[in-house]
Amino acid sequence: MADVEMEQPKVEPKEEVAEQNGNTNKGENKTASEYEENETYKKLISQQMKKSVAEALMKLFDSGYMTADDVDERAVEMMNSFPEDQARYIVEQLRESRLFGVQNKAQYLMSLMRNFRDRVRNQGAQSVMAGKLITGPDPEKMAEILKRTGYSLEITVGQRKYGGPCPDWDGPPTGPAGQGHEVYVGHIPHELFEDSIVPLFEQCGKIWDLRLMMDPMSGKNRGYAFLTFCEKASAAEAAKKYDGHEILPGKALKVNVSVANTRLFLGNIPKSKTKDEILEELKKHAEDGLEGVTDVIVYTIPDATERHKNRGFCFVDFADHKTASDAKRKIQQHKVHWVGVGSAFSCEVRST
């Protein structure tokens, strides 16, 4: 299951973006004084943004990697909550990354700032700002792979997704049906990305998609990925060929065909909800990543009152392993909120 249906990463011509931002002078070496008559800059200053941060944002807009429309009032408010040097660092890191592969830039900016705040809280600002906030492969090298294959790339704070669907796919829109198409790729060196994984595994057959899991607290990959092939035989060959393969000297991969797990445990369920109410609520969150929900298993309390119709947890069945995996990631990262009677709760989730 893909979070969103994607198009090829696109960057608008710098001239067009600059004009949209109210600036027809496209130079990136401007000082704050040269932006003083710019309407976008004046608006940022009126929103209490520090001049050096507003200047960094204007340079980001001029670069063409992001537009003023991607930075709404919520983003400005959060950016203003950081010390000036930290806010400027975030913006400069965005420009350096080129936002390559980021589809929803407004959402990505908010997620990145929340993640940065958590990292500073845990590691300290000096430690975090000493390195890169956004990591990834060389953009030119990745662009060459995308051009050669016709695949798309979608990047969020917690995942890098290559493909899905492949350009000439004529099967189900959700991908290959049935078990045995997906392989688990573990022990991936934390500094590697799709540009090292895709060329290796595509030798075994056509890839449907690759989902490389990212650690928001380090900015590096988590050391594992899920790769789906269009054909089962390709998955079996990949597991046989690359289990134990040294992708770097002394760094051997762990590769096996994924074991289907289509059931998740959800905790913190309001005890006043029935099975049908829980199922209906979960299906409302399809756009949030809970696609493919097929059933809910609820355990009741003997002699329960009207206020206690379940034990505070349930098991949710999904159509396949992939949708269950994506749902688990979505809930863990963003939390699915269910507004009840005067309150809201967040689901706890784990595989069964």
How would CATH label the architecture of 263-351? Answer: 2-Layer Sandwich (3.30)
Do 161 and 209 contact (CB within 8 A), yes or no?
yes
Annotated domain spans of the chain: 14-129, 139-257, 263-351
Task: Over range 185-192, report the average pLDDT.
Answer: 96
Residue written as tokens 């040097």? 85
What integer pLDDT is reported at residue 338 of this predicted model?
Answer: 58
What integer pLDDT is reported at residue 134 of this predicted model?
Answer: 93
| 172 vs 148: which has the higher pLDDT | 148
What integer pLDDT is reported at residue 28 of this predicted model?
Answer: 54
What integer pLDDT is reported at residue 219 of this predicted model?
Answer: 87
| 78 vs 288: which has the higher pLDDT | 78
Task: Over range 326-330, report the average pLDDT.
Answer: 78
What integer pLDDT is reported at residue 93 of this predicted model?
Answer: 96
Tokens of 154: 């979608």
In DSSP terms, 349 is beta-bridged to 266
Q: What value does the mean pLDDT of the chain take?
A: 84
Tokens of 177: 């049906």
Does the fold of domain 263-351 match that of domain 139-257? yes
List phi, psi (to 5°) of 249.
Answer: -55, 120
Q: Is the pLDDT of residue 351 over 70?
A: no
What whole-number distance in Å separates Cα of residue 5 and Cα of residue 22?
31
Q: Is the pLDDT of residue 347 over 80?
A: no
What integer pLDDT is reported at residue 166 of this predicted model?
Answer: 85
Q: Name the CATH topology of 139-257.
A: Alpha-Beta Plaits (3.30.70)
Q: Which helix (H) or strand (E) holds 248?
A: strand 246-248
Cβ partners under 8 Å of residue 4, min gap 6: 103, 104, 154
Distance of CA 153 to the CA centre of its chain: 11
Query: Quick one: pLDDT band at residue 342, thresholds 50, 70, 90?
Result: very low
Query: Quick one: pLDDT band at residue 304, thresholds 50, 70, 90?
Result: low
- Single-letter amino acid code for the residue at 251: K
Which range has the worst mean pLDDT, 136-150, 252-266, 269-283, 294-308? 294-308
Reduce the DSSP state of residue 81 to 3 states and report it. Answer: coil
What integer pLDDT is reported at residue 31 of this predicted model?
Answer: 62
| 268 vs 255: which has the higher pLDDT | 255
| 206 vs 335: which has the higher pLDDT | 206
What integer pLDDT is reported at residue 337 of this predicted model?
Answer: 59
Query: Quick one: pLDDT band at residue 111, thresholds 50, 70, 90?
Result: very high
Reduce the DSSP state of residue 208 to 3 states and report it. Answer: strand
Q: Is the pLDDT of residue 1 over 80?
A: no
Task: Over range 63-84, report the average pLDDT.
Answer: 97
Query: Quick one: pLDDT band at residue 186, thresholds 50, 70, 90?
Result: very high
Task: Over range 224-245, report the average pLDDT.
Answer: 96
Q: Is the pLDDT of residue 216 over 90?
A: no
What integer pLDDT is reported at residue 336 of this predicted model?
Answer: 56
pLDDT digits (tens, 9 = 90+) for 270-301: 888 888 988 888 887 776 667 788 899 988 77
What integer pLDDT is reported at residue 25 of this predicted model?
Answer: 43
